[in-house]
A and B are shown apart, each in its own frame.
Chain A
Amino acid sequence: MARYILKRLGQSLIVIFIVTIMVFVLMHSLPGDPVKIFLGDSATPEQVEYYTKEFGLDQPLYVQYFSWINGLLHGELGRSITYKLDVKNLMLQRLACTVSITLPAFIIALVIGVIFGVITSVNRGKPKDYVLTSIANVGIATPSFWVGILLVYVFSLKLAILPVQGYVSPTESLTGYLKCLVLPVIVLSLGHLASTTRQTRSSMLEVVSQDYIRTARSKGLSEKTVIYKHALRNALIPIVTMMGGAIGGLIGGTVVIESLFNIPGIGSLMLTAITNKDYMVVQNVTFFISLAVVIANLVVDILYGVIDPRIRVE
């Protein structure tokens, strides 16, 4: 098992390395001179030259790359042009917000998705299956922002129970905080709930047709035991694997959701930064988001090793 974890850790480090190169290259392909943007329209050529040297932007690319990496390792992440704050502090501020939406959405999508998936697979062909699966099929075809708008229309405009947008910190008002979160969390979780349901269903159906399930039945175990003790554990393996990718999707989804509901999280930060060509923010936030995804995948793979003993011997 330790060998397996080490191997995966090694692979993750390589991937992170490649990510840094990708982000760096992408950054330097963006149009526009960051110094001119920083100084604004009224910059004089002398100022431009001065600040170019000041920011180290006249150095060859690989030097810039290493100084960036060096900065990353020391927590030096530069400054945001738009917000006039250190990127590090900016990110931390916004992180809490994004996590408040992403974490509950993840849990809801996973737990309810698996439950629905098991229900549909056990009741295959019957009405329960047909209804839930059809809803799931529509669910993965529905854009999250559209659902958000629909719900806003119903709950905020017509019924006025929930706010249209905005964010209230929990220290200010707990109920306010929760009210702000309800719609974003629901909207964010829907797409993944639908795809988890589908995945679980197909995974369960495949497992239930395996020989060892027939053996379990032949021992006289109750259907409940067969499904929940024998089948589910095997069916969860591909689902756990999928969860790693889902995290990336959820983070991507927050960009849209935070924009729609005007929530000051990492997603909307990215959007503003790209629009305003706030390069320091874009570069570092992209990197940290990718880092989060890689770590999530690593955790998922380790979890995979816990569930499936065959992997540990690899």
Chain B
Amino acid sequence: MKKGALIMSVKNENKPNPSQERRKQFVNSFFGTVPVKIGFAILVIIAFAAIFAPLVAPYDYNKQDLLNTLQAPGKEHLLGTDALGRDLLSRIIYGARASLSVGIVSTIIAGGIGITLGLIAGYLGKAADAIIMRIMDAMMSIPVVILALFLGSILGKGLGNIMLCIGIVMMPGYARMTRGQVLSVKQLDYVTAGKIGGATRIKNAAKHILPNCLAPNLVLATMNLGAAIMVEAGLSFLGMGINPPTPSWGAMVSEGYKYLAKAPHIAIVPGIFIILTVWSFNVCGDALRDATDPRLRGTK
């Protein structure tokens, strides 16, 4: 055969480093629209505030000032004060800590357990699949809030327990999604090719099936983070969430309800922050899905 007759690709000529190119393409696609830029910026700001709360918050979140209760937003207290004279802005910043940490940790727990169960169900099939999926169905039949209340009562209040509780409650979604992915990936030719190439079942699953199931889970996780934060807010609102005096946005709304007539901002402002955070996670989740999807599809 004639050497030198190497067939070159018509696209991708003179590209130095393909992985760099891919990364650049991904970033461009992800930040394509305005809402994502805003959402991502919001998340960065809130995360920064949460992490560096002691440095950023103007006051101690627990410092009561009974002379200055129910103040409207003003120069001294940017967002006003609550019924005990505590600075609302500082409480919001510390509340961000609670919300974000609960959101992230519970999502990790939910994802970790859920994905594992989904993998087992999808890969082993038959009995294991049926049992696991029926249990997931049963869990999903008990409404999230109710199950969370239940588990909360069992585990008790406290940040760690809340995270565990919400994590367990949100787990079935990941299990279902992963199982579905495994089932569809399992029969693709490249998995068969791995087997023909002599890979052991475990190696084939780890190398070919697992990575291709993880991507949609990442998208699900980003969207579910928002949901986890909402659940925590709901629990706190009902008084079943994080212990006071640690501020939680949901609890702050509940506290503020009593003073709705006199000082509506106490109830309304924390809610706005919930909306901003959850919205930002959702928008980034959508963008993540759009950025990862068509890339996998290539062209003929």
- Taking the complex as a whole, does A directly touch B, i.e. does some CB pair lie under 8 Å apart? yes
Return the chain B residue nearest A32 by Cβ: B153
A173 interfacial contact with B, CB 8 Å: no
Do the beta carbons of A18 and B142 come within 8 Å of each other?
Answer: no
B193 touches A (CB below 8 Å): no
Contacting B at CB under 8 A, from A42-78, are none
B135 at the interface (CB under 8 A from A): yes
In the assembled complex, the CB of B129 is this many whole angstroms from the nearest CB of chain A, namely 13
Cα distance, A157 to B258, chains bound together (Å): 12
Instruction: Given the known inter-chain contacts A146-B271, A149-B267, please indicate yes or no for A141 contacting B138, CB distance below 8 A.
Output: no
B-facing residues in A281-302 (Cβ within 8 Å): 282, 286, 289-290, 293-294, 297
In the complex, A187 has a CB within 8 A of chain B: no
The B-contacting residues of A in range 233-283, CB under 8 angstroms, are: 245, 248-249, 251-253, 255-256, 259-260, 270-271, 274-275, 282
Interface status of A210 (Cβ within 8 A of chain B): no
B144 at the A interface (CB under 8 A)? yes
A145 within 8 A of B: yes
Among the stretches B88-96, B100-108, B119-127, B232-240, the one at the interface with A is B232-240
Q: How far is the CB of B228 from chain A (nearest CB, A)?
A: 13
How long is the Cα–Cα vector from A18 to B278 in the complex, in angstroms? 33
Q: Is A111 an interface residue (CB 8 A)?
A: no
A270→B150 CA distance, assembly (Å): 10
Number of interface residues of A (CB under 8 A): 47
Smallest CB separation, B92 vs chain A (Å): 14
Query: What A residues does B234 contact at CB under 8 A?
Result: 143-145, 256
**Interface size band for B:** 35 or more
- The CA-CA distance from A150 to B277 in the complex, in Å, is 19
**B149 contacts partner chain A, Cβ-Cβ < 8 Å:** yes
Chain B 244-258, CB within 8 Å of chain A: the 1/0 string?
000000100110110
- From the candidates B140, B151, B153, B274, name the one contacting A248 in the complex (CB within 8 A): B140
Task: Establish whether residues A19 and B138, one from each chain, have CB atoms under 8 Å apart when the complex forms.
Answer: yes
Main secondary structure of the interface of B (DSSP, over half): helix
B264 at the interface (CB under 8 A from A): yes
B6 within 8 A of A: no
Inter-subunit contact A293/B141 (CB<8 Å)? yes
Is B134's CB under 8 angstroms from A290's CB? no
The A119-154 residues at the B interface (CB cut-off 8 A) are 134, 137-138, 140-146, 149-150, 152-153
In the complex, the answer to whether A289 meets B261 with C-beta atoms within 8 Å is no
Q: Check if A159 is an interface residue, CB within 8 A of chain B.
A: no
Cα A249 to Cα B266 with chains together (Å) = 27
Report B-chain residues with C-beta under 8 Å of the C-beta of A134. Answer: 35
Q: Does A15 contact B (CB under 8 A)?
A: yes
**Given the contacts A14-B134, A138-B275, A143-B274, A252 and B146 also touching, CB distance less than 8 Å:** yes
Interface of A is mostly: helix
Question: In whole Å, how far is A207's beta carbon from the nearest beta carbon of chain B?
Answer: 18
Given A19-B138, A294-B141, CB of A149 within 8 Å of CB of B268: yes
Please pick, from B142, B253, B283, the residue contacting A146 in the complex, using a CB distance under 8 A. B253
Which of A11, A31, A275 contacts B134 (CB under 8 A)? Answer: A11
Cβ-based interface call for B59 (8 A): no
Q: How far in angstroms is the closest Cβ of chain A from B143?
A: 3
Interface contact B237-A152, CB-CB below 8 Å: no
Q: List chain A residues, Cβ under 8 A from B145.
A: 252-253, 255-256
Measured CB to CB, the nearest residue on chain B to A138 is: B279
Given A140-B226, A274-B150, 20 extra CB contacts under 8 A: A19-B142, A31-B156, A140-B278, A140-B282, A141-B277, A141-B279, A142-B275, A145-B253, A146-B268, A149-B253, A149-B268, A150-B271, A251-B146, A252-B143, A252-B145, A255-B143, A256-B237, A259-B237, A289-B146, A294-B141
Can you name 20 A-B pairs with beta carbons within 8 Å? A19-B142, A23-B142, A31-B154, A140-B278, A141-B230, A141-B278, A143-B233, A143-B271, A145-B237, A145-B254, A146-B267, A146-B274, A146-B275, A248-B144, A249-B143, A251-B143, A252-B146, A289-B142, A290-B138, A290-B141
B residues neighboring A (CB under 8 Å): 35, 134-135, 137-146, 149-151, 153-154, 156, 226, 230, 233-234, 237-240, 250, 253-254, 256-257, 260-261, 264, 267-268, 271, 274-279, 282-283
